[in-house]
Amino acid sequence: MRLATFAVAAVLAVPVLAATADWGPILAGPQRSAENRARDPYRHPAETLAFFGITPTMTVVEVSPGGGWYTELLAPYLRDRGRYIAAGPGTATETAAPKFMAKLAADPAYYGKATTTAFGKGKYDIAPAASADAVLTFRNIHNFYIGGYAPDAFRAFAAALKPGGILGIEEHRLPEAMPDAMQNSSGYMKQSTVVKLATDAGFRLVGASPVNANPKDTHDYPKGVWTLPPTYQEGDKDRARYAAIGESDRMTLKFVKAS
């Protein structure tokens, strides 16, 4: 497994948070883009990370970080006393990888101790075995499912975690009464499907939070979940209606790895 590390050349002024997990300094920090900050009312980052039980001394693997929305929070939060690993950059399955890697390199004050590992179909060595306190992935399970490697991905999560380690998942939620086939293309997943994938890999569900639920979401759009903000895949068509709905209805699930 190859770990890419961005070294910091000097002592840098990055907020150090107490063990009480006060996310305020990180949420307000200059490392966050205005575009990402504007999505806080939809994504509820402080509440989500508190639910997962993330603390500053943990080793945390974020799987498929995309453009780095949560990286802007997790990497500086863990920088001084923990460890942040982004699993996915540099692989063919990560279309945002070049921008993500450039993001890390451009701001060593916040991302200088972040490391990266490969993740994607056939690439599952996301961290040394039993080394991580938590594995997190945000709005990605549908990609693993559609790509045909979701069971392998969950086994990789289990392999990376210490016994009793946390698996935190946020995913677009498909109501259980809707057709299973919608999971193949809509971007939405049934909670029962996600729970089965996790339990089959040796995890136990210990909590489900409504923090990212959205009762306005009807889950049945022409372009799937990407019809809604922030993607607006239908362009200006019915844009005001989709803006009024907001971002998707999402499950937020916490699992632990069996001992």
In a domain, 34, yes or no: yes
State the pLDDT at residue 20: 42
In a domain, 229, yes or no: no
In a domain, 8, yes or no: no
State the pLDDT at residue 254: 98
State the pLDDT at residue 8: 34
Q: Is the dihedral of CA 137, 200, 249, 224 positive or negative?
A: positive
State the pLDDT at residue 89: 74
Domain residue limits at 19: 15-217+248-257
State the pLDDT at residue 6: 40
Q: Taking the CB of residue 237, how many other CB atoms lie within 10 A of it?
A: 12
- Structurally, the chain folds into a number of domains equal to 1
For helices 97-106 and 71-78, what crossing angle results, to 10°?
Answer: 40
In a domain, 99, yes or no: yes
Instruction: Give one word for 151, left, alpha or beta, with left for phi > 0 and alpha for psi -120 to 50.
Output: alpha
In a domain, 212, yes or no: yes
Q: E-assigned strands of 121-241?
A: 132-138, 161-174, 189-190, 203-209
State the pLDDT at residue 90: 61
In a domain, 231, yes or no: no
State the pLDDT at residue 65: 95
In a domain, 237, yes or no: no
* Rounded-to-integer distance, Cα 90 and Cα 3, Å: 11
pTM higher than 0.75 for the full model?
A: yes
| CATH code, 159 | 3.40.50.150
Q: Which residues of the chain fall below pLDDT 70?
A: 1-21, 90-96
State the pLDDT at residue 14: 39
In a domain, 86, yes or no: yes
